[in-house]
């Protein structure tokens, strides 16, 4: 059973998709109306409606706790799933580096592999890959619509402190 719910934000319309195991995809907002055409007739579920409302509030700057939302990561490799599950624990408004994630996962030196896992994240915001940055605080590698500008927008929604074009990393 695949269900979907649309949500509105200042950036446009986004979509939450779920199956019998949980949320399997979040499409970040776009302004072109394409999601209305693609998902407008797809039935919703209690889960997609709940998550869509949470995302709507998140994009308004309200802190949301997505930790109890069931997710389905069966489409990603076991290594990537492990990295995404680790990233899911990064708190609202906090930023980690790719190297910190690799070290926490017990694979120091695998920062590039962590980046590959973030790029394969099908559930952004719920799994907050936008909270992972380069070791020097630069915003890198965000494959969602809007790219790096979207990553910056999400971090600013969470009131992350910037130092010019870089994140202020706490030592």
Point out the residues that are catalytic: 129
Q: Say which residues have a Cβ less than 8 Å from residue 171's Cβ, sequence separation at least 6.
A: none
Q: Say which residues have a Cβ less than 8 Å from residue 105's Cβ, sequence separation at least 6.
A: 82, 83, 86, 114
CB–CB of 92/63 below 8 Å? yes
CB–CB of 125/153 below 8 Å? no
CB–CB of 66/103 below 8 Å? no
Q: How far apart are CA 90 and CA 24, in angstroms?
A: 19
Burial class (CB in 10 A: 0-12, 13-18, 19+), 148: middle
């Amino acid at each position: 059973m695949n269900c979907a719910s649309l949500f509105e934000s200042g950036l446009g319309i986004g979509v939450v998709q779920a199956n019998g195991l949980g949320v399997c995809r979040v499409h970040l907002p776009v302004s072109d109306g394409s999601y209305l055409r693609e998902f407008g007739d797809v039935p919703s579920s209690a889960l997609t409606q709940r998550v869509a409302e949470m995302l709507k509030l998140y994009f308004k700057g309200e802190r949301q706790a997505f930790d109890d939302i069931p997710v389905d990561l069966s489409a990603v490799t076991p290594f990537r799933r492990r990295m995404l599950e680790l990233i899911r624990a990064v708190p609202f408004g906090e930023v980690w580096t790719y190297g910190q994630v690799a070290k926490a996962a017990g694979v120091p030196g695998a920062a590039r592999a962590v980046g590959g896992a973030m790029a394969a994240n099908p559930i952004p915001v719920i799994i907050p890959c936008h909270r992972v940055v380069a070791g020097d605080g630069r915003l890198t590698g965000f494959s969602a619509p809007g790219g790096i500008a979207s990553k910056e927008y999400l971090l600013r929604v969470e009131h992350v402190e910037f130092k010019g074009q870089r994140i202020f990393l706490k030592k």
